[in-house]
Chain A
């Protein structure tokens, strides 16, 4: 596909369970970002991957959150022992790095509901 895709589009899970959210960036984009969008809040930066560099994890809210990016393409965000406050829309974005790095292309998001 031409755009950023995310799966699943919706996820309902019970408190205490682990979840995995997937992001497929645009082919050739070396930068990948994860954000969290809570109701009535702006986008909260979570983690940033750029090529083979160590990821910038400065936005992860707790050690229950982790992410990996395999082969410089697909990324998975994992939330362990989910809590109700983790309920939000998780957005992934990708971009080229360099002069055009500011143009981030967003996926449709995964809506996570923790019951």
Chain B
């Protein structure tokens, strides 16, 4: 079955880099995502990576995918207090008919100290 796991908490100082890790079990995953949830808000897609890629960079965000180990990470450079939020890892498999229903991890609470 599908399972996505991530650590529950991460605390960093402002200006440092944050690395949030995620592991998944389904080797047929096609898409892997990182979502951000700020207090009282819904989830916002931050970035995604296709399973045939091993890295994607978007401004301060770097996603690394190790398909062999089924390990996904999100690195946030120069972390700011505004980055404090819950970060969800998710994966989905391309289904016939276009049904993309992701499986989400429990979320990592990132706390950024000034």
By a beta-carbon cutoff of 8 Å, the part of chain A in contact with chain B is 4, 31, 33, 35, 40-43, 45, 48, 50, 53, 56, 91, 93, 95, 97-98, 101-109
Contacts and interface: CB of A to CB of B under 8 A. Distances in A.
B44 interface: yes
Contacts of B90: 43
A102 B99 contact: no
Interface string B74-114: 00000000000000101010000111111111110000000
Interface residues of B, number: 26
B33 interface: yes
Contacts of A104: 43, 45, 102
B45 A98 contact: no
A105 B46 CA distance: 11
Given A42-B88, A43-B88, A98-B98, A91 B42 contact: yes
Contacts of A95: 100
Contacts of A106: 35, 42-44
Contact of A108 (B42, B45, B98, B101): B42
Nearest to A97: B98
Nearest to B106: A42
Contacts of A97: 98
A50 B104 contact: no
Contacts of A108: 40-42
A101 B45 contact: no
Return the 7 tightest CB-CB contacts between A and B, nearest first. Answer: A106-B42, A43-B104, A42-B104, A42-B106, A106-B43, A97-B98, A101-B100
A42 B105 contact: yes
A48 B42 contact: no
A91 B44 CA distance: 12
Contact of B45 (A31, A35, A48, A103): A103
26 contacts: A4-B42, A35-B104, A40-B106, A41-B106, A42-B4, A42-B104, A42-B105, A43-B43, A43-B88, A43-B90, A45-B102, A45-B103, A50-B97, A91-B42, A93-B42, A98-B98, A101-B100, A102-B33, A102-B92, A102-B100, A103-B48, A104-B102, A106-B43, A107-B42, A108-B40, A108-B41
